[in-house]
Amino acid sequence: MANDYYQNLPTKRMSALALYYNEQKDILIVKPNYADYWLLPGGVIEKDESPLQAIQREIQEEIGLEQQDFKLVVVDYVATDEHSESIKFLFIGGDLAVDKIKLDNKELSEFKYVKLDKALMLLHKNIAQRIETYFQEQKEFLYIENGQLI
C-alpha cells in the first residue's frame, strides 16, 4: 500500500546547465543539432542522478571537460508550459579557455563566446530569462519561478 502511494506521486522533469566565461567575461553558448536556438552546456538529469552529477556528466559529454567543482547559483521552478512542469538548476562553471573545449559533434554543431546581451537574444527564451534574472539580481543564490524573482 505504501509502495502504491510513492508510485503515484507526481514527477518533475529536471535539468542542469552551466554558465562559463572567457577572459573577457563573455558567456559560452552551444548550438544543438536538433534546434534553431542556442543553449548553455548541460542537460537533463537522469533517473537516480543528482543535479551535480548530471552537470558533471553533461559537461564531460558535451564539451569534453572533466570538472568536479561547480557552484549552484539558481534553482528555477518552471510551471507547465509546452512541456510538463520542471525544476532547472544553474551552476557556475567558471572561466574556460576555448582551447579546453572538445565539442561533442553528435549533439552540438558549434559553440561561441558572446556578450550577455547577445546571449539573451540567441538563447532559448526560458534560459535567457533565467540568466538575465541572475545577472540583474547579483546575488550569490536565487530561487526563482518561471525565470522571475518571486
Range 31-55 average pLDDT = 96
Kindly state the average pLDDT of the residues 89-110: 93
**CATH code for the structural domain at 14-149:** 3.90.79.10
pLDDT band for 1, please (50, 70, 90 cuts): low
| Greatest C-alpha distance within the chain | 58
Q: Could you tell me the end-to-end alpha-carbon distance of the chain, in angstroms, rounded to an integer? A: 38
Domain boundaries along the sequence of the chain: 14-149
Q: Which of 89, 64, 63, 93 is nearest to 76 (CA)?
A: 89
Model pLDDT, residue 4? 81
Backbone angles phi, psi at 70, to 5 degrees: -130, 150
Structure pTM?
Answer: 0.91
Say which residue, 25 or 53, is predicted with more confidence: 53
> Is the torsion defined by CA of 33, 34, 39, 42 positive or negative?
negative
pLDDT digits (tens, 9 = 90+) for 113-137: 999 999 999 999 999 999 999 999 9
